[in-house]
Structure 1
Amino acid sequence: MKANEKLTVAFGEVLAPWVLAGDNKGIIIEIFESAVAPLGYEVTPIYLPYARRINAYQMGLVDVASDMNPNTIKGHNLVGFFSDIAYSYENFAFSLQKRNFHFTHMDQLKNYSLLSWQDAAIHLGAEYAKMVKNHPHYSETFDQYNQVKMLFLERYDVVQMDAQIFAYYRAKISESNDKISIQQVDRFPLFGASPNGFMFRTKKLRDAFNEQLTHLKTSGEYANIFARYSMDSAKTAIQAPELPIN
């Protein structure tokens, strides 16, 4: 690709504060745009649910796809060039405190209704996939606002999602004067961090992106991107994770 050419990138559709589709903003978008800006590319974002994002990449409709890791690349037989780790979600199992659950291992979730995000069974690896394979009350959704609401409405015993996304949508529910969100919640760190990057069609662009991503981390701009979302409308505290500088 030539400098100043448009770069079409598939981002998540409902992933605030990581992606704020309505404003063309968010942590992930700013990381990507900041990394490719010195290369002269203009980013054209496309916002898609996870399954459609995979399809768009496979069909050649986008140049880059976000939220990729080795599990998803292998699970969907994606062909391309995977970037260095650019950001990391931190997933928890959330339940209402009044249920008095005490989860210490993800296998315990088999006994309770569980709502997760789209393609989690592939994205989170073998142990998670094994747990949900024969789970009688397991579902996935692309709408994580609704996912949080389903917990407070007691439609599901447990929801599994990133801590920052949960906090964001909990605050959004509260802003709508819906009192259900004042309920106390427990969270259980059963899944660990979920490192992610971008899938590129060309090795040259992937390598150039990796170089700029390293510069973002060492210059302090990477941490600044997270800081800009530390006092967003959801009043969640976002901190840059400790990621390797490749």
Structure 2
Amino acid sequence: MYRLLAALMLFVATATFADEVRMAFGEKIPPFCFPETNSGIEIEVIAEALAAGGGHRLKPVYYPFARVPVAFKAGEVDAAMTDLGEDMLPHGGHYGDPAVVYDNVFITLRSRGLQIRRPEDLKGLSVIAFQGADKRYPEWLGPVKQAGNYHEQNDQSLQVRMLNEGRHDVVLSDRNIFRYFALQLTQTGSFKPQLIQEHAFTIARPQDYRPVFRSAKVRDDFNAGLALLKKSGRYRAIYDKYLKD
């Protein structure tokens, strides 16, 4: 395993890049995407998979999240991190294997002893979520919004703080995004995190987060490189870089 990982890293470092792949990403999705440094879990996984599978060099191009598939359809980029639910096959897209999976859960303080298994369990609770979550999960969040107990906050570090301080009962977040911001706040020394409880309410669907490529060859190279990252342990190491204490 060590030799496989070493060979992978040597290949990534010394490869003669076959193609530059301009890929559309959302503007800022910590810890998956940091535009200011071209880093983050998703950026690094895709970049290393493209390099390992075919010697390609990733060139991230950043857009407001909703414009990512628009940029692909307009021919502004060679690839996109997601299709946001719109089929890109009619627009010349070739889907790759999922580089990452976003896994949204309800998060509460363990001390509250709350159990969330059905939409009715949110009755009377204050819920804070990311922008547009009510449209993605109307069965769960529609009644909460109608009751005036639904709030949205794009700054997800504030979501962590508000839950920890008891200002909201429930946070709806990707579990890794929440963990990242909790770790960042804890490292400041002024934040004392309480124990949390995660409540799964939907099945994570990896196929919803597939990158899409204009070239079938580049897609195949990406898939091969991604498989190599996972086999070597490098894939897990990229996640741990951002999410381990």
1:141 is displaced (CA, Å) by 4.4
RMSD across aligned C-alpha pairs, in angstroms?
3.2
Unaligned runs of 5+ in 1: 237-246
Tell me which structure has the larger Cα radius of gyration.
Answer: 2
TM-score by length of 2: 0.72
Query: Is the aligned partner of 1:130 residue 2:139?
Result: yes
1:28 to 38, 42, 45: 42
> CA separation of 1:9/1:119 partners in 2, compared to 1, >3 Å: closer, same or farther?
farther
Whether the aligned pair in 2 keeps the contact of 1:96 and 1:184 (CA below 8 Å) is: yes
1:140 is displaced (CA, Å) by 4.3
* Letter aligned with residue 198 of structure 2: R
Whether the aligned pair in 1 keeps the contact of 2:18 and 2:55 (CA below 8 Å) is: yes
Q: Larger % of strand: which?
A: 1
Percent same amino acid among aligned pairs?
Answer: 31
* Letter aligned with residue 55 of structure 2: G
For these two proteins, the number of residue pairs brought into alignment is: 222
Q: What does 1:42-61 correspond to in 2, within 5 Å?
A: 42-61=57-76
* Letter aligned with residue 168 of structure 2: Y
* Letter aligned with residue 202 of structure 2: F
1:11 is displaced (CA, Å) by 2.7
Aligned with 2:223: secondary structure? Answer: helix
1:94 is displaced (CA, Å) by 0.7
CA–CA distance in structure 1, aligned partners of residues 226 and 239 of structure 2: 19
> CA separation of 1:102/1:78 partners in 2, compared to 1, >3 Å: closer, same or farther?
farther
1:170 to 161, 167, 182: 182
1:164 is displaced (CA, Å) by 1.9
CA–CA distance in structure 1, aligned partners of residues 221 and 241 of structure 2: 32
Deviations 1:137-188 (A, max 9, x none): 4344443223323323444321112222211101212223433x42332221
Q: Which residue of structure 1 aligns with residue 172 of structure 2?
A: 160
Q: Which residue of structure 2 aligns with residue 200 of structure 1?
A: 213
Whether the aligned pair in 2 keeps the contact of 1:18 and 1:27 (CA below 8 Å) is: yes
CA–CA distance in structure 2, aligned partners of residues 83 and 119 of structure 1: 26
Whether the aligned pair in 2 keeps the contact of 1:58 and 1:78 (CA below 8 Å) is: no
* Letter aligned with residue 226 of structure 1: R
Q: Which residue of structure 1 aligns with residue 237 of structure 2?
A: 227
1:93 is displaced (CA, Å) by 0.7
Query: Is the aligned partner of 1:96 residue 2:106?
Result: no
CA–CA distance in structure 2, aligned partners of residues 138 and 59 of structure 1: 36
Query: Is the aligned partner of 1:185 residue 2:199?
Result: no
Unaligned runs of 5+ in 2: 1-16
TM-score by length of 1: 0.72
Q: What does 1:79-90 correspond to in 2, within 5 Å?
A: 79=91, 80-90=93-103
1:66 is displaced (CA, Å) by 1.5
CA–CA distance in structure 1, aligned partners of residues 121 and 80 of structure 2: 33
